[in-house]
Amino acid sequence: MDMSTPDPLGRQIDIDEQETAEWIAALQSVLESSGPERARFLLSRLASAARASGIHWRDERITPYVNTIRATDEPAYPGGSDAVDIEERIASILRWNALAMVVRANRAHGELGGHIASYASAADLFEVGFNHFFRARSSDFGGDLVYFQPHSAPGIYARAYLEGRLTEDDLAHYRQEITAKSLGHQGLSSYPHPWLMPEFWQFPTGSMGIGPISAIYQARFMRYLEHRGLMQPQPRKVWGVFGDGEMDEPESLAALSLASREKLDNLVFVINCNLQRLDGPVRGNGHIVDELETIFGGAGWNVIKLLWGSDWDPLFARDITGELAEALNRTVDGQLQTFAAHDGAFNREHFFGQSPALQAIGATLTDEEIDRLKRGGHDLRKIFAAYHAAHHHRGAPTVILAQTKKGFGMGAAGQGKMTTHQQKKLERQDLIEFRDRFRLPLSDEQVDQLEFYKPAADSPEMRHLQERRAALGGYVPQRTVSGATLTVPPLAAHAQFALDAGGKEMSTTMALVRMMGNLLKDEHLGRHVVPIVADEARTFGMANLFRQVGIYSAQGQLYEPEDIGSILSYREAKDGQILEEGISEAGAISSWTAAATSYSVHGLPMLPFYIYYSMFGFQRIGDLIWAAADQRARGFLIGATSGRTTLGGEGLQHQDGSSHLVAATVPNCVSYDPAYAYELAVIVDEGMQRMLARNEDVFYYVTVTNENEAQPSMPEASAERREGILRGMHCVSRCQQPQVRLLGAGPLLKEAMAAADLLEGIFSVRTEVWSVTSFSELARDGIACDRTRRLQQTGSEAWVTRQLGDNDAPVIAVSDYVRAVPESIRAFVPARYVTLGTDGFGRSDTRASLRDFFEVDAKWIAYTALCEVFASTKTAAELRAIASRLELDVDKPLASTL
Ligand SMILES: Cc1ncc(C[n+]2csc(CCOP(=O)(O)OP(=O)(O)O)c2C)c(N)n1
């Protein structure tokens, strides 16, 4: 019978304290007489005996609510007390400048957001990093990579200002990028955005969860580059500083086991546990630190709790009975927040007042001293000790759970307040108190004016700051682009089979995989290709690559694969080239982003192809793609098994009819829905030219399908044909004076071709057919031309308009995506325009049934065309007769309503 009951934090209550004391005394005596080895041995024997007796006991994953690193184990602070004092003063100045930046912006324009409280809590965590750990990239060192907690951006700008990298005018235009540019200053983006500040930020982190998962896959990709011999092994680190609230995002925790499985000791997470998120406490009724300790520890990370500052050490030393530690164990986060929001007298009464023993400990401090007791994440010495331990830890990634106060130093106005997250206004008295709290040398008037403060260049603070950065190789963050290019092999070398297909049956997926296989063999480019899959390589016919280039595994292959005799055998290798991410699209896209930004992050251009079920791309991990776009990714996203009616039999959750709609909204994403292998070849070639040879900041989204079909050869290898394919449409079946023009996209081009046969064969309607490779490229061109014509009063005309020319024959477009995709070019079509698409939920059936259901097959296209062609010459009854001749059910409900 279990006679112990858990307390509110899930800890067991002791029902026989004397017995417990005897056991502990026994352990202590073993420790003293035989040492820790023997103690460990006995504990593990006890555990085995407990298991054998059927006691389901397992080591608690939660350690007491105190620092992991004992005070006696702390290393000396580099530079000693002087350095600590100076760095504390620097942190104070940064806190002020960050605050002034936000409050100023808000005073001038009430609508501009901004955050003070997050950086106020994180400033010391960043300062120790900046002064002692974050190494910049230099000529002989690749540099550490730092993922910054997004709401701390004002503090990072404030530091760059002291470093001389940003001017006062830049700071004065925080969150005013457009206005600043027009005045010749640099606008400072709200959060880390490489797109907006391409020489400053490396990694976008503004959307919670993206930073953590990206940091893990970045650390892994660095190992991949080293193991494949593409990058010199160097002791570089990836540091990720994130909020405790952010840890609620599924992406934040999704890849923890990958990091430990791959022994990523080049990775350090610092979780800023200020115990609050936006609306309130992260875990008011528990301890977020303990919860994260369990999760990270369980996943195999090295966990360091950094909870209390040095001024707590004497208090713990006096805590002979363990009552102080126990009181901290008991105090839930909501209460800790309340303590943060109140002064020393309140804390004396409500915390130290809980028992005579605690009162005695509290009695050694004045109210003022109690008020100033620091949490671990505000104590430079403790932070240094934790970072030092993390930096030297081997064999596993480290997480530092740093307890801080949200709005630290904002006093009654903000510290620990429920509403502090969004606070961007401070009253005069609060500002004065802030100045006094951090001993800033500012007059009342300077405070009123919210003047930025920059000490003289030869002041101890500025000299220290610059010396430390020089010692660490330069400034961080900093985004650089080397300008290195890669030579793209001639099209014929890897895609001749597609250009001269000669009617050979193949799907566009097969064509893509074959092209990629050829590129992998290219003497120069081959090493840079990174094929990425999320457990679908066999689906896409890529199994042959397993043997050809191997699957990357940091451990190599520790087993004999079942299919070892086969030519397609499953091969894992330390220098394997394929990234097989298992069933994690979020992981695979994070790997893709790491590879697609390697040209900048590592000065090493790579060519990633992430091939996935198209439905599980923009729809499922669209925000990670958006972040990749922000980061100026270059590479190919391949949406395979695409199309709502082309992926027969798979049903509602698999059939993609929307990815092209979303892709069109990403400004630097160039997307295509090719019908033919030769179109695909031209598109991939152009993509490589733009991204690898011309260093353009674009990436490509290309959909391919699994429908086998006779692939025509490229009609002629002319520049016009290539231009048409790339601009988004080219004519594949021309006729003199057409009565109707059909625009077929991707897999439905063949339905449009079949419709043309029906129209000409049965109804003698002259029909022209165009292959639309990209509605989004056509629409973008149309919008740009339209605007130029309006603003410049020039005759600029959209490509679509020019192609369809001076001809009023109706135009019918058909796409395997929702109608909004072909609708996007309506404004530029110079004739009556009708669109057909696949709006509605997919369902499982044959391609033929699906295309009839969504009214996008040859007969529906032909009927739609006839309705336009005969609009003024045939009656409604005659048109109905045509429909029944085509065996179309014109009374069936709209697919999107079913
Ligand atoms: C995906 C996403 N959802 C919501 C937000 C809005 N948001 C910004 S900060 C924040 C709270 C952050 O809390 P925490 O991670 O604890 O950081 P703190 O500011 O407290 O240090 C929220 C909800 C966001 N930026 N991204």
Q: What are the helix (H) ranges across 5-145?
A: 17-52, 80-108, 117-128
Rounded to the nearest angstrom, the gap between the alpha carbon of residue 149 and the centroid of all alpha carbons in its chain is 13
Element of type H or E holding 685: helix 677-688
pLDDT at 6: 62
Ligand 1 pocket test: pick from 273, 278, 401 the residue with the most ligand atoms within 8 Å of its Cβ. 278
Ligand 1 pocket test: pick from 119, 121, 277 the residue with the most ligand atoms within 8 Å of its Cβ. 277
Q: What are phi and psi of 16, to 5 degrees?
A: -145, 85
Over residues 23-45, the mean pLDDT reads 91
Q: Within the chain, what is the greatest distance between any pair of CA atoms?
A: 107
Minimum CA distance residue for ligand 1 atom 23: 278
Cα dihedral sign for 750, 751, 752, 753? positive
Task: Confirm or reject: Cβ of 276 under 6 Å from ligand 1.
Answer: yes
Q: Which amino acid type is present at position 121? A: S
Cα distances from 432 to residues 99, 342, 378, 440, 443, in angstroms, run: 13, 19, 21, 10, 9
Task: Confirm or reject: Cβ of 207 under 6 Å from ligand 1.
Answer: yes
Minimum CA distance residue for ligand 1 atom 25: 207
pLDDT exceeds 50 at position 632: yes
pLDDT at 2: 44
Q: Which amino acid type is present at position 579? A: L
DSSP string, 213-273: HHHHHHHHHHHHHHHTTSS------EEEEEETGGGGSHHHHHTHHHHHHTT-TTEEEEEEE
CB 815 within 8 A of CB 821: yes
pLDDT exceeds 90 at position 59: no
Task: Confirm or reject: Cβ of 121 under 6 Å from ligand 1.
Answer: yes
> What's the N-to-C CA distance of the chain in angstroms?
58
Task: Confirm or reject: Cβ of 319 under 6 Å from ligand 1.
Answer: no
Task: Confirm or reject: Cβ of 245 under 6 Å from ligand 1.
Answer: yes
CB 175 within 8 A of CB 114: yes
Ligand 1 atom with minimal separation from the 623 CA: 1
pLDDT at 1: 37
Rounded to the nearest angstrom, the gap between the alpha carbon of residue 790 and the centroid of all alpha carbons in its chain is 38
Cα dihedral sign for 360, 366, 371, 377? negative
pLDDT exceeds 90 at position 277: yes
Cα angle 437, 438, 439; round to 5? 95
Task: Confirm or reject: Cβ of 272 under 6 Å from ligand 1.
Answer: yes
Task: Confirm or reject: Cβ of 406 under 6 Å from ligand 1.
Answer: yes
Task: Confirm or reject: Cβ of 822 under 6 Å from ligand 1.
Answer: no
Task: Confirm or reject: Cβ of 278 under 6 Å from ligand 1.
Answer: yes
CB 204 within 8 A of CB 624: no
Cα–Cα distance, 383 to 360 (Å, whole number): 28
Rounded to the nearest angstrom, the gap between the alpha carbon of residue 356 and the centroid of all alpha carbons in its chain is 51
pLDDT band of 816, cuts 50, 70, 90 = very high
Cα–Cα distance, 433 to 413 (Å, whole number): 10
pLDDT exceeds 50 at position 353: yes
Ligand 1 pocket test: pick from 421, 423, 623, 624 the residue with the most ligand atoms within 8 Å of its Cβ. 421
Q: Which two tokens stand for residue 829?
A: 């079509």
Minimum CA distance residue for ligand 1 atom 13: 277
Ligand 1 atom with minimal separation from the 122 CA: 21
Please write the tens of the pLDDT for every residue from 552-593.
999 999 999 999 988 889 999 999 999 999 999 999 999 999
Ligand 1 pocket test: pick from 208, 214, 242, 623 the residue with the most ligand atoms within 8 Å of its Cβ. 208
pLDDT at 5: 59
Q: How many angstroms separate the alpha carbon of residue 277 from the centre of ligand 1?
A: 6
Helix axes 153-163, 117-128, angle to 10 degrees: 50
Q: How many angstroms separate the alpha carbon of residue 420 from the centre of ligand 1?
A: 13
Q: How many angstroms separate the alpha carbon of residue 206 from the centre of ligand 1?
A: 8
Q: How many angstroms separate the alpha carbon of residue 203 from the centre of ligand 1?
A: 17
Ligand 1 atom with minimal separation from the 115 CA: 19
pLDDT at 3: 44
Q: What are phi and psi of 192, to 5 degrees?
A: -65, 110
Cα dihedral sign for 357, 361, 367, 370? negative
Q: How many angstroms separate the alpha carbon of residue 149 from the centre of ligand 1?
A: 9
Ligand 1 atom with minimal separation from the 246 CA: 15
Q: What are phi and psi of 62, to 5 degrees?
A: -100, 130
pLDDT exceeds 90 at position 765: yes
pLDDT band of 118, cuts 50, 70, 90 = very high
pLDDT band of 717, cuts 50, 70, 90 = confident
Cα–Cα distance, 463 to 131 (Å, whole number): 12
Q: How many angstroms separate the alpha carbon of residue 324 from the centre of ligand 1?
A: 32
Please write the tens of the pLDDT for every residue from 487-532.
999 999 999 999 999 999 999 999 999 999 999 999 999 999 999 9
CB 208 within 8 A of CB 115: no
Tally of residues, the chain: 898
DSSP string, 135-147: PPPBTTB---EEE
Do the strands 302-306 and 398-403 form a parallel or antiparallel pair, or are they unpaired? Answer: parallel
Task: Confirm or reject: Cβ of 423 under 6 Å from ligand 1.
Answer: no
Q: Which of 622, 612, 703 is nearest to 657 (CA)?
A: 703
CB 804 within 8 A of CB 824: no
Question: Where is pLDDT greater, at 110 or 471?
Answer: 471
Task: Confirm or reject: Cβ of 246 under 6 Å from ligand 1.
Answer: yes
Torsion of the alpha carbons at 97, 100, 102 and 103, rounded to the nearest 10: 170
Ligand 1 atom with minimal separation from the 421 CA: 19
Helix axes 80-108, 428-437, angle to 10 degrees: 170
Q: Which residues of 446-478 are buried (b: 16+ CB within 10 A; e: fewer)?
A: ebeebbbbbbeeeeebbebbeebbeebbebbbe
What rounded mean pLDDT belongs to the chain? 95
